[in-house]
Amino acid sequence: MDNRSNVTYLMFGGHVEVHKYGYLYFVIMFTVYILIISSNVTIVCIIIIHKNLHEPMYIFIAALLINSVLFSTAIYPKLLIDFLSEKQIISYPACLFQWFLYYWLGGSDFFLLSIMAYDRYVSICNPLKYTTIMQKNTVNIFLFSAWILPAGLFLVALILNAKKEICKFHLKGILCNSTVQTLHCVRSITLNVYGLVNLVNVLILPVVFILFTYGRILVVSYRCRGVRKRAAETCLPHLLVLMNFSCLTAYDVLLPRLELDSPKIVRLIMSLQAVIYHPLFNPIIYGLKMTKIYDHLKKLFCRMV
């Protein structure tokens, strides 16, 4: 606690020999950050520029990639500063803000993946009704909901966290995630219950909906050979992204709550995977697996060479 400014500061304790390898960490993570920003922004610009990509599926992909840019920007600058600092600290309000961005954008990703699953379901299972259902206004409502609904859910959690008194000032990790609740003097039943409600609304229900819709797509694809190739081409990238993101989210949600005494190096590696794989994985998958995007990428690189 800083008595002069009356601002509470927290210490990150998840770094491993940062004073010895700080510059190496900085170079590696700065390179990853540049790759994340450049790859995601490139595909988003391709989708915006080319009119043949102005379809609901590609618009939702662009929204997902924009989330990756925002997510990385909420995490990486602070990490890079910490790698070059003598003390890895953050003010409590800034920590809560990072926590909010972390979970808001993560929740938004699950909502977007659900919308993308529904889009594929309508396109493959009800192709004649697709243009009627997936109109411009419908797409806009879906996008608005994917950003606003999780923001509202986690804003309530943010307010509840801000009102709690903290007695600990040491975080085991390298960023502000669910471990923030371990700082509270008294564990809040209200926060735990509300956190469970958010877990169901933001993670479990979307995943169940996605699995149901892709199950229906699988049945239709099995019955009709003509749609198998299109289903595999457009659905496989979404499923790969879902599997990757679900595994990382499960680790983030469950491990801190179980409070397992795992080695610091293991926690560091898992934390870095959570902030590297998903934002870097998305543009790679969509850039390589989505034929139209891949064709535009090839043309772009051929011009550059």
128's tokens? 């004649």
| Residue 255, pLDDT score | 59
| Residue 305, pLDDT score | 61
| Residue 227, pLDDT score | 61
The band of 2, judged by pLDDT with boundaries at 50, 70 and 90, is very low
| Residue 259, pLDDT score | 55
The larger pLDDT score, comparing residue 242 to residue 108, is at 108
| Residue 43, pLDDT score | 93
Judged against a pLDDT cut of 90, whether residue 30 lies above it is answered with yes
What region does 6 belong to: left with phi over 0, alpha with psi -120 to 50, or beta? left
| Residue 230, pLDDT score | 63
The band of 62, judged by pLDDT with boundaries at 50, 70 and 90, is very high
Say whether 166 sits in a helix, a strand or coil.
strand
pTM: 0.88
Q: Residue 244 forms beta bridges with which residues?
A: none
The band of 67, judged by pLDDT with boundaries at 50, 70 and 90, is very high
* Domains assigned to the chain: 9-304 (1.20.1070.10)
What is the C-alpha to C-alpha distance for residues 95 and 122, in angstroms, rounded to an integer?
41
39-68 average pLDDT score: 92
Mean pLDDT across the chain: 84
161-168 average pLDDT score: 86
What is the C-alpha to C-alpha distance for residues 243 and 236, in angstroms, rounded to an integer?
11
How far apart, in Å, are the Cα atoms of 148 and each of 46, 104, 151, 299? 26, 9, 5, 36
Place of tokens 């950003």: 147
Q: Is the dihedral of CA 273, 275, 153, 66 positive or negative?
A: negative
